[in-house]
Amino acid sequence: MTSNSDFPADFLWGAATASYQIEGAVTEGGRTPSIWDTFSHTPGRTVNGDTGDVACDHYHRMGEDVALMAKLGLKAYRFSTSWSRIQPHGRGPVSPDGIDFYSRLVDELLEQGIQPWITLYHWDLPQELEDAGGWPNRDTAERFGEYAALTQAALGDRVKHWITLNEPWCTAYLGYGNGHHAPGRTDPVDALAAAHHLNLGHGLAVRALRTDADARIGLTLNLHSLLPHTESPADLDAVRRIDGVGNRVFLDPVLRGAYPEDVAADVAHLTDLEFVRPGDLAVTSAPLDFLGVNYYSRQVVSGPSGSGETDSHSGAWPGSEQVEFHRRGLPVTQMGWEIDPEGLTALLRRVHQEYGPIPLYITENGAAYADEIGADGAVADPERIDYIGRHLAEVAGMIGEGIPLAGYFAWSLLDNFEWAWGYEKRFGLVHVDYTTQVRTPKASASWYADVIQANSLITADGTGK
């Protein structure tokens, strides 16, 4: 039987994590500190002073975690490698213990028939490279290309799916613009230079990874799905600006080989982009096999009006700090992010029309809720099932209209260290008790397993829920 709720036979069902959010074991196997170790250990930077020192202790419980993935029936697992675990000084030789950890993980995944999808950079820059200037320093891009080559040399015989960067918007603008993320720097020109060097590092990594003709290589962006507050010229211009510095600054150099001219004009009072050197755009635009998109919410923006909020966002939008963000009063998740599944379709339609044809994957989508283990020992999380189900319905619809959407990775496999929010926010399909490290699959985990098995949103009990 086929219906609108069915997925193509080869649709890739996955779940995702990131190294610093789950591994712990931060001083083991030759690993040196990353910027997130430094940042989380700096008083006032994370909620409750939480750090990733132990996190989900995945480094020591990897076998158990792969068994959970197998029970879920995952076809693919997206995880990130910790740069300072693999190459402790950010340059020079690899750590055999670091390689060994990921090598064992890859072997266990393959044994269970789960495709390993490696993200090479999910925000944990080796502190030594930050001390040398971090992403605003061009050399970091070169170092990243080298680390990509070393990681592939160690794992590329078994790993064929590679994502260079996770959400360079966050690294550049939250790390160097508003300082909400490591390394906590706040300079708009540094933020823009970081954005360019991330794009360049991406291109250098693609070049390195292409030495394996079988490698499938992509980039994951947290693209912003935007609506104007009103149809006024000022609000439409706010959409253009946020789309420019938030989306097109990352899409265009990679998929079109050029920076958008309107964004250069928007930031001209800050910088003439002297860090973009001749030849760079040929590197950033190396052909890609897929684009990964992480989607959580849609944003409504306006020009300066006084009725929205700029605070939490200013600094995250170099050159467009005056743009305001508005709430619509939609239901929100534990993060306070409004739930808007249609925003995903609007976003991917646009990406497909303007940047296609390129295969697309949802490399993250999910929701945080304050999940607790009930008296019966189970975790009921109907809101998460509803959130993921509604987004998957959009995915099915998009496939139906011909958008080349080839897979979906739920964020996240496990509850984990939610960056500046610490352990308070729980995104997992699997609950983690941070005292005992006991894993308890939530109701959403068995629901997701049913969806995967049925390859359809109409699950075993026929309700789709």
Decide if 432 contacts 424 (C-beta within 8 A). Answer: no
Contacts of 175 (CB under 8 A, 6+ apart): 35, 123, 134, 135, 181, 182, 183, 184, 185, 191, 194
Catalytic, 364? Answer yes
Which stretch in 66-74, 129-137, 229-237, 295-303 sits in contact with ligand GBH by CB under 6 A? 295-303
The C-alpha atoms of residue 262 and residue 32 are separated, in whole angstroms, by 41
- Rule CB under 6 A: is residue 166 a binding residue for ligand GBH? yes
Query: What are the tokens at 245?
Result: 């510095």
Q: Is 320 in the site for ligand GBH (CB under 6 A)?
A: no
Which of 76, 170, 205, 242 touches ligand GBH by CB under 6 A? 170
Q: Which helix (H) or strand (E) holds 440?
A: strand 439-441
Residue 444 interacting with ligand GBH (CB under 6 A): no
> Cα(50)–Cα(47) distance, rounded to whole angstroms?
6
Please list every residue from 11 through 40 that binds ligand GBH, using CB under 6 A: 18, 21
Of positions 50, 57, 130, 364, contacts ligand GBH by CB under 6 A: 364
List binders of ligand GBH among 216-275 (CB under 6 A).
222
Return the number of other C-beta atoms located less than 10 Å from residue 413's C-beta.
30
Q: How far is the CB of 461 from ligand GBH (least distance, A)?
A: 29
- Residue at shortest CB range from ligand GBH: 337
Is the Cβ–Cβ distance between 288 and 256 less than 8 Å?
A: no
- Please state, as a whole number, how many other Cβ atoms lie within 10 Å of the Cβ of residue 463: 10
- List CB contacts of 230: < 8 A, sequence separation 6 or more: 302
Segment contacting ligand GBH by CB under 6 A, of 147-155, 247-255, 294-302, 374-382: 294-302
88 cis-preceded (ω within 30 degrees of 0): no
Q: Is 152 in the site for ligand GBH (CB under 6 A)?
A: no
Residue 418 binding ligand GBH, by CB under 6 A: yes
User: Residue 176 contacts by C-beta under 8 Å, 6 or more apart in sequence?
Assistant: 134, 135, 136, 183, 185, 186, 187, 190, 191, 194
Among 67, 160, 314, 337, binds ligand GBH (CB under 6 A): 337
Q: How far apart are CA 186 and CA 315, in angstroms?
A: 7
| Binding range to ligand GBH, per CB under 6 A, among 56-64, 150-158, 178-186, 291-299 | 291-299
Q: How far is the CB of 414 from ligand GBH (least distance, A)?
A: 11
Of the candidates 37, 167, 237, 371, which one interacts with ligand GBH according to CB under 6 A? 167
Return the C-alpha torsion angle 215, 290, 429, 386, nearest 10: -160
Q: Pick the stretch among 84-92, 163-171, 250-258, 389-397 that binds ligand GBH (CB under 6 A).
A: 163-171
Token pair for residue 189?
């020109």
Q: What's the closest the beta carbon of residue 170 comes to ligand GBH, in angstroms? A: 6
- Single out the residue of 87, 294, 302, 333 in contact with ligand GBH (rule: CB under 6 A): 294
Candidate residues 115, 151, 299, 456; the one interacting with ligand GBH per rule CB under 6 A: 299
One symbol per residue from 97 to 126: x for binding ligand GBH (CB under 6 A), - otherwise; what is it? ------------------------------
Q: Which of 108, 167, 338, 364 is catalytic?
A: 364
CB 125 within 8 A of CB 82: no
Could you list the residues that contact ligand GBH (CB under 6 A)? 18, 21, 166-167, 170, 222, 294, 296-297, 299, 337, 364, 411, 418, 427
